[in-house]
Amino acid sequence: MKILIVDDFSTMRRIIKNLLRDLGFNNTMEADDGSTALPMLKGGGFDFLITDWNMPNMEGIELLRQVRADPDIKTLPVLMVTAEAKREQIVEAAQAGVNGYIVKPFTAETLKEKIDKIFERIAG
Amino acid sequence: MDNAEERLTTHLALARELVGHLENGDEENARLVIQQLRFPYERELFEELGKLTRELHEALKSFRGDSRLVEITQDEIPDAKERLNYVVTMTEQATHRTLNAVDEGLPIAESLHRRAAALTENWARFRRRELSLDEFRDFAHDLDAFFDATGQETERLRSLMSEIMMAQDFQDLTGQIIGRVLRLVHDLEESLVGLIRLSSGRMAPSEPPGEVATPAVSRDEHERGPTGPAVPNTHDALADVVSGQDDVDALLSSLGF
């Protein structure tokens, strides 16, 4: 299971990386915004994407749309972890095809719960 | 005959006339000629004064019309102060959260260290066959207790470490809030630079005042994209934001998630 973590704050990337390691996901990579993440994802090999929304160059919502528009990676599960808390934004992300949405600040339990739920749905 | 030459001829004629009047002691007529000579320069002065007045009027009008500056002053600076206050509170909370975990964790680590040292000493004595039967019984009892406690206490330490790690999320959240205040400072700077150019428009005539004072990006334009964490007691309160993860889950499940 290879996971890409996308956030413009390196501190948040480290926190998520640590939490994922606690959950048993040791194979993670990092990108600091959508425009660096997209070529990595297109390069293949990723099974899961965790992305922030508010980032320079390419925002998380745009990254999500680009992923869904690419036939090779459009089924990639995407979990958004963001401080964006407007209802219209959550609806927007849902319409763009997000698999899960976590608002910051979040807990380790929430991250585990959402990842589990996404995998359950994919399996079921 | 061009204008300059014509003016020269007229001036020369008037000057000769003036000299004539003065030589004749005709002060009244000399004064009239002097007035005639002065007239075109006075007209130029009045025209220039008129132009200045108009420019001043325009400058004042566009200053009043720069609604962005008004918006920033009345609305967004108080809002930004509230955001920075919130950052102070958040960093304070994160620091306390971290220090609390350290306060709890350090004695645990120290106690484990102390007890392990005591056991090591008795273990060495045991290997040298220096322990009496009673001492060995106590030693075995201590070992049991230590093994029990170690499992629990290292687990507690792990969870305290994890608490310290999660407390560091403040850097991302406050970073986003400060980033937003920085954008406001940038807008304010642009508006002020515009204002300074406006008031010194005559010194830099290459840039007409009207064009320099382009207002910076309005707040509405900023709000269209992502805005970072919602801060209490600011404009964020007006937006329809969720109050936490439970709200997000409820909204998503209403959408069929």
Kindly report the average pLDDT of chain B as a whole number: 87
Q: Counting beta carbons within 10 angstroms of the beta carbon of residue B3, is it exposed (0 to 12), middle (13 to 18) or buried (19 or more)? A: exposed
Q: How many Å from the N-terminal Cα to the C-terminal Cα in chain A?
A: 18
To 5 degrees, how large is the angle CA A65–CA A69–CA A72? 125
ipTM over the 0.85 cut-off: yes
For residue A22, list chain B residues with Cβ-Cβ distance below 8 A: 162
pLDDT number for residue B204? 52
Token readout for A93 is 């992300």
Confidence of residue B202 (pLDDT cuts 50, 70, 90): low
pLDDT number for residue A93? 97
Which of A15, A87, A110 is closest, CB to CB, to B251?
A: A87
Confidence of residue B212 (pLDDT cuts 50, 70, 90): very low
Helix (H, G, I), strand (E, B) or coil at A81: strand
Confidence of residue B223 (pLDDT cuts 50, 70, 90): low
CB of A96 within 8 Å of a chain B CB? The answer is no
Over 60: is that where the pLDDT of B199 sits? Answer: yes
> Are the Cβ atoms of B227 and A110 closer than 8 angstroms?
no
| Higher-confidence position of B105 and B214 | B105
Contacts of B157 (CB under 8 A, 6+ apart): B105, B108, B109
> Are the Cβ atoms of B226 and A53 closer than 8 angstroms?
yes
Over 90: is that where the pLDDT of A91 sits? Answer: yes
CA distance A22 to chain B (A): 10
Contacts of B54 (CB under 8 A, 6+ apart): none
Do the beta carbons of residue A58 and residue A35 sit within 8 Å?
A: yes
| Reported pTM | 0.77
> Are the Cβ atoms of A12 and B255 closer than 8 angstroms?
no
